[in-house]
Each structure stands twice: as C-alpha cells, then as structure tokens.
Amino acid sequence: MDESSTSASTSAHAVPTCHPEATVRDYLDRGWWEPETIPDIFRARVAEAPDAAALTDPANLTDLTGALPRTLSWRELDEHVTDIAAVMLAHGIHQGSTVAVLLPNSIALTATYLALWRLGAVATPMPASFRRHELSGIVAATAADAIITVGVLSDRKPVREALEVANGARIVFAFGPGVPPDAVAVGSPVDAGARNQVRDYESALQVTVNDRVTICWTSGTEAAPKGVPRCHGDWLATARGVQDGLGITPDSVLLNPFPMVNMAGFAGSFLPWLLAGGHLVQHHPLDLPVFFGQIAHHRVTYAAMPPALLTMLLQNETLRAQADLTSLRIVGSGGGPLPPPVVRRWQEELGIAVLNFFGSNEGVSLLGAPADIPDPTVRAQYLPHYGAAGVRWSTSLAERTAVKLVDVITGETVTELGGRGELRTRGPAVFGGYLPGTATADPFDEEGYLCSGDVFELCGEGGRYLRFVDRLKEIIIRGGMNIAPAEIEGLLADHPAVSDVAIVGYPDPVLGEKCCAFVVPKPNASVTLGDLVAHLRAREVASFKLPERLEITHTLPRNPVGKLLRRELRARL
C-alpha cells in the first residue's frame, strides 16, 4: 500500500488512477495534497454539524422535474446519499464502475456524486441540456456501466433518451416522478439492512487520493470534447485554492448557478462548500426572478455570476431594484472578460467584491482575489502571476503552482513586460492527461507543464500580473498581424447600444483574414459598423484590429456552460 492509501483493506475491483505514483508521493510529502478523500471530508462535515442546513434544491425544481424542492441538513444529506448508494450497489455499481450523470443542479445531483464516490465509483457528468447524441458519445467513450438521470426535465423525458442509449446493455437509474418500469427508481429511503450493506462495503474499500472520481468534458467550442479524468487529490488542491480566496466558513450560504459538471461548478462552489461546511443553494438554468428570490430568501453570502449578469444588473435599474443583494459579501465571476467599470461599480456602489476566476477542466486555476488585488479596476483586467519574484499571494495554491508564458513562435519563455505567450502551468491542481481515445495531442510540454492554449500578456511591476489575451486557436491573423477577439469584444461591450458581441475571423484573399463583429443590440437600439469603428477609434485601437463587417443577430450561440461557439458564427460567414 502506498502513502496515499486511506484504508488497509483490499479492494476486489480495479480502480483507475490519474497520476504516476512518484507524483502522488511527492505531492503528499510536500503537503500539496492531503491524505483525505472527498468521502472523508463529507463524513467530517456531517459529524461537525449534523443538524445544520446543508443543501437546498432550486426553488423552481417542480417546474423543472416535477419534484418538490427541499432543504436537507448534513445528517439528512448523509442518509440520502446512503440510500442512493444502496440502490446502486444492489444493481452492481461498485468500486471502479463508471456512471454517466445527466441531472440538473439539485440535491439529487449533489447526492449522486457523493454516493458514487462512497462506492469508489466514477462519475462522468454532463449538462442536463445534453440530448441523446451527446449522451451516447460520452457513454461510448467512457464505457459507462450505467446512466443516472431524471424522469422529466421541463418538456423532455431524459430517462427515455437514456434507455434508448442504454439499449438494454446497461442500467438506467432515474429520480422521479415519471420513472418508467424499465428504469431503476432511485432517491427514496431504503431499509436499514441495505444501508448497512453500503457501510460494510465502504469500510472494506482500499481508497487512495489518486483514485479517479470524475471524467469531465472540455467545452468543445472548437472541436470534439475531450475527456478529463480527475482524482480526489487534484480536485481538492484546486478547491482549497478557491476556498482560500473566497473565505467560505460554516456560516456561509453559497448560491451556485453554474452547471455542476465541470470546473466552474465543482471548484467554484461544490467542493469549497464541502471543505468548509455551510449551506449550498442550487440553481440552474439561470432564471433571474428565481435567482434573486433565492438570494433574498436564504440570505446568500456568496454567489457565482457570469460577467453578462454582472453587467445586466448595473445597466437595468428596474431589475436591480427587484433584487435584495444586501446579504452578498462576495461574487465570483469568470469565463469571459470582466469589464473594469462593472467590477468597480459593484464594489463601490453595491459594496460587493468581485473575484476574477480563470480556470479550466484540465487544472489551470488563477484567482484574482480582493486580498491580492484590492483595486477593482485592476482586478477586472489582471490575474496573479504565480511565481512572480518577490510577490506572495494569499492562496496556498499560488506557492505550489509553477507558471510560465511561452512564445508560440520561438518557443522561448516570455520575460519582458508586455510580452505575450501561451500560459503553461504545473502543480498539484493539474490533471494527469486526457482520457485515451478522446484527444490526439499530448497536452504537456517536455518539462511537464500543461499547455493551456490560452494566450496571456505579462503585465504590472515586476511582471506580477497576467492579462488574458485570447484562446490561441481563436487569434485572427490579418496580414500577418495578430488580433485577439476577446480584446475587441471587451472594448465593444462598453458601447451603449451593444448588449452582446462576438468577434470572429472570415477569409480574405489578400490579407488572409478580416474581423467581423456579430452584435446583439440592446432593446430599441440600433448599431452600425461605423458606430463600432468610431467607438474603437476613440479608444485609440490600432487600425488593423477594427472590424470590417457587421452582422446583427438576436442571440449568440453558446454551449450548455455558456461558452461562445465561434465555429457556428464562422459557419454563418
């Protein structure tokens, strides 16, 4: 048994792991990983505050699934997790099994993860909006042993889609109502004997922090999604870094609107809540009246919000007047550029600090916290450069993560201020490699750094900051000059007539590519190409970056986790 083991007993089932044993021993010896697994941490929370409120369903759960929303204490959540695990165990789910999970944010989803991990099984989550096509691909890629979903989801019947994909070759579990007889109903209480079987099974498992617990999926905005296996150790290293920045305590109330299927949901809310305790309130899909009602009713202290919602609340005084935000202490945002005026106004006018998150399923994790970057305007534009000489950051993960920028043409490390390069990271939060068969290229360089595919600029005194430029694949090359769509989008987002905007390249026989702006105008507003160009010229933007074509649209295509699908916009051109 290696140092990462948490039980001396023997498992009869093969358990997939994520990292070489030498890496695991090194992380444990350095204290970069703790020996506890996620079930260990859950048991500690239950023991500490068994009767405290732990988890709440979305207020509109009945409209989504037909089930009644409820709040569970830590003790009640533990019992619910055991009941789910008992049904799964009785139907052959065991240590090393993989289960495809298609559930909306809810008590059911949270408890399903905890039940699977209690059995030593692996969850492969997907957004609840995925349909048969995506589900069948993920089930095939992971050789999933089972699928767990719901009987009803708005106007859909996901359990029927799951049964078609399973085709009798694997079990389909489903939370009710609406569970047909050919699926296994799950979520109701079981008898004491079944619960004891789970406890006996769990106590006999040999578990290590290197055991795989999830296979998440890249967003697939530019190519087919890739499977991202992660273990207890790298998930918890990421979550502890976020926990440092958020300062969550057992008194905190967290509201999570991001699908709990990848980095945003897991590391942004779920795992920090599990580490600290407190009360997690689930939400999704985004419904503003419900969202604001949850903040007011539960006196939420921390909420995650996409950048567009931060901006919308400031621009729409009527909407803001309907929202009681007085309990909010801090908001986490990311997934796109944060407009500096918006972050500043949230802090100065509303008294709420906005954290700037930048992360990926593979383990990139940069956190611009108020303790590190007090000025909200600076915090909106920059992220901490972990490892910058003479700088000490507030998160433990900063000291344990090596970061470098690499010039994508020369391969040299960027050291000059203003220099741009691909972000590469190495450390205890980084995953061990893609699921075989879902990626063709090795994501690591010769020194073991994860090649993120994200271009950053080295900024600030002594190179203490990093500024996101854009995805490497999304850079537009016009006549040999590089244009970062995110940079232009950030500037155009301040235009008074622009509600949403995307910049994409389109072919040009002379220059190679030119820029097209897809714009969603604000209600009752009109936009011309000349308006956009004048707006950018007033900010002294270089001429080669100016859009040369405008397409007006009612909405921009995004994937289930909110990322822009540029390939669809390029296809329109």
Q: Residues 398, 486: one domain?
A: no
pLDDT of residue 469: 86
Residue 494 and residue 424 share a domain = no
pLDDT for 561: 64
Distance CA 407, CA 40 (A): 43
Position 432 in a domain: yes
CATH label of the domain that carries residue 317: 3.40.50.12780
Domain end (from 449, 473, 497): 473
Q: What is the pLDDT of residue 467?
A: 93
Based on C-alpha coordinates, what's the Rg of the chain?
Answer: 24
496 and 453 together in one domain: no
Single residue among 454, 473, 492 that ends a domain in this structure: 473
Buried b (16+ CB within 10 A) or exposed e, 109-122: bbbbbbbbbbbbbb
Please list, in sequence order, all residues whose beta carbon lies within 8 angstroms of the beta carbon of residue 469, skipping any fewer than 6 positions away.
Answer: 420, 454, 455, 456, 457, 475, 484, 486, 487
CA-to-CA distance for 395 and 512, rounded, in angstroms? 44
Same-domain check for residues 403 and 549: no
Instruction: Give tens-digit pLDDT for 26-38.
Output: 999 999 999 999 9
d(CA 566, CA 544): 20
Instruction: Check residue 9 and report its DSSP letter.
Output: S
Q: How far is CA 233 from CA 29, 114, 408, 410, in A?
A: 13, 16, 31, 35
Asked if residues 176 and 185 have their Cβ atoms less than 8 Å apart, the reply is yes
Cα 378 to its chain centre, rounded Å, is 23
Task: Tell me the DSSP string of 300-345.
Answer: -SEEE--HHHHHHHHH-HHHHHT---TT--EEEEESSPPPHHHHHH
State whether 413 and 497 are in the same domain: no
Q: What is the pLDDT of residues 298-345, one digit of tens each?
A: 999 999 988 878 888 887 788 788 889 999 999 999 876 788 999 999
3-state secondary structure of 107: helix
Three-point CA angle 456, 457, 459, nearest 5°: 135
User: Is 147 among the domain residues?
Assistant: yes
Residue 282, domain member (yes or no): no
Note the pLDDT of residue 11. Answer: 40
Question: Is 36 inside any structural domain?
Answer: yes
224 and 372 belong to one structural domain: no
- Tell me the residue range of the domain where 554 lies: 475-572
Q: Answer yes or no: is 481 within a domain.
A: yes
How many domains are contained in the chain?
A: 3
Q: Could you tell me if 204 and 82 lie in one domain?
A: yes
What distance in Å separates the CA atoms of residue 286 and residue 270, rounded to the nearest whole number?
17
Q: What is the pLDDT of residues 108-159, one digit of tens each?
A: 999 999 999 999 999 999 989 888 988 999 999 999 999 999 999 999 999 9
408, 316: one domain: yes
Beta bridge partners of 476: 483
Whether residue 3 is predicted with pLDDT greater than 80 in this model: the reply is no
Residue in the block written with tokens 């205890």: 428
Length, in residues, of the chain: 573
Report residue 405 CA to chain centroid gap: 23
Average pLDDT on 424-442 reads 94
CA distances from 163 to 182, 188, 465 (A): 8, 21, 50
For 37-92, how does the pLDDT look when each residue is reduced to its tens digit (9 = 90+)? Answer: 999 999 999 999 999 999 999 999 999 999 999 999 999 999 999 999 999 999 99
SS (H, E, C) 420-487: EEEEEEECCCCCCCCCCCCCCCCCECCCCCEEEEEEEEEECHHHCEEEEEEEHHHCEEECCEEECHHH
Domain presence at residue 286: no
Residues whose CB falls within 8 Å of the CB of residue 375, separated by 6 or more in sequence, listed in order: none
What CATH number is attached to the domain comprising 497? Answer: 3.30.300.30
Percent of all residues in the chain with a pLDDT value above 70, rounded to a whole number: 96
Same domain, 235 and 318: no
Domain ends where: 243, 276, 293? 243
- Give kind and range of the element (H or E) at residue 227: strand 227-231
pLDDT for the residue numbered 220: 60
Three-state DSSP state, 213: strand
Asked if the structure places residue 12 within a domain, the reply is: no
Q: Given this model, what pLDDT does residue 13 score?
A: 59
State whether 48 and 192 are in the same domain. Answer: yes
Q: Please, what is the average pLDDT of the chain? A: 92
Is the predicted pLDDT of residue 516 greater than 50, yes or no?
Answer: yes
Asked if the structure places residue 269 within a domain, the reply is no
Q: Residue 336, exposed/middle/buried by CB under 10 A (0-12, 13-18, 19+)?
A: middle
Quote the Cα angle for 68-274-234, to 5°.
Answer: 125
Burial class (CB in 10 A: 0-12, 13-18, 19+), 167: exposed
Task: Write down the pTM of the prediction.
Answer: 0.86
- The Cα–Cα gap between 165 and 132 comes to 7
Four-CA torsion 478, 479, 480, 484, nearest 10 degrees: -20
Same domain, yes or no: 191 and 315 = no
In this structure, are 507 and 452 located in the same domain? no
Place of tokens 């080669």: 544
Burial of 30 (C-beta count, 10 Å sphere; 0-12/13-18/19+):
exposed
43 token code pair:
């048991």
